[in-house]
Chains A and B, each alone.
Chain A
Amino acid sequence: MPVEPDATYTHTENITWRDVNDEVVVLDLKSGEYYTMNQTGQCIWRALMEGKTVDQVKDLVLERFQVEKDKALTDVEEFISGMMDKGLLYRTEKL
């Protein structure tokens, strides 16, 4: 499923997450699997949970990390796709 620039995402029902020791920990309550992520992943996750769109998340990654624009977009898209494949994220419907 393509990741659209104006789309927003949130975590699925069986997920809980917390900031622990300045680190994002995502827990799948159903399977009992823990996920931790690198700095970029944490930045993307927090922004998505704040309700930011893919475009806004990409801008945030560009602002915080010294990366090319294309690379930032690819990172965000890959992160979202990967999380969706694992059943951790889903796209929220527009109101």
Chain B
Amino acid sequence: MLSEKEKAAKAFRNDIFNLLLIIRILTNSLRLLISAKLYVRSRIDRLKLTPVTTKYSTDKATKAKIIKGIDSLLAMPVLGSRRRCFYRSYVLFHILRNMGLNVSLNIGMRHMGGNQYSRGHCWLSENDRTILEMFDPLEVYPHKLNKTDRDINFYMGLKEDVNLRRHKSSFILQEDRYSNLFQPKFGQEVKA
């Protein structure tokens, strides 16, 4: 049995560890974001995709809080609106992989018909399950074109349709999409 003093010391050590981890993840996120903005841009072949590791190992609740925090930061308008989903997915892809989740990067494109411009979206999935999205992009990008050996999936979307803008089935993914990320699935414990 730990004494109150030992418990407090352990909690303090944990807090310091988590604080350092958050600083490390934030620094890495910033580095990834800058490299994506300056170097990768829209060149998929320039993407450096990290393997699944346990580099950012901590308890599930802290992981969920970190992802939520990073996601909120990435949603800030200061980052610009063009390709925001790509930069968000790219940064979160790296963080989640380093937290032990085998996530894939998904890219969907659809054109608006005629000479109109194309639209696209980038999102993450884990074992073909869309994660961290309010709406399932597979409703708009249902045709899977290919999966590369670099864990990038390409999808083709439907042409512009008023119903698509409204997300006709209103399929909303888990409201608590951050904490659910690290819950065990199908009876298996997610490696921390």
Contacts and interface: CB of A to CB of B under 8 A. Distances in A.
Interface of A: 16, 18, 20-21, 25, 27, 29-32, 34, 36
Interface majority SS (helix, strand, loop, mixed), chain A: strand
Interface in B40-65: 42-45
Contacts of A32: 42-45, 107, 152, 154
Contacts of A30: 44-45
9 contacts: A18-B143, A18-B145, A20-B156, A25-B156, A27-B146, A31-B43, A32-B42, A32-B43, A34-B154
Contacts of A21: 143, 158-159
A27 to B, nearest CB: 5
Nearest to A25: B156
B118 interface: yes
A20 B156 CA distance: 8
B111 interface: yes
B156 A29 contact: no
A30 B111 CA distance: 20
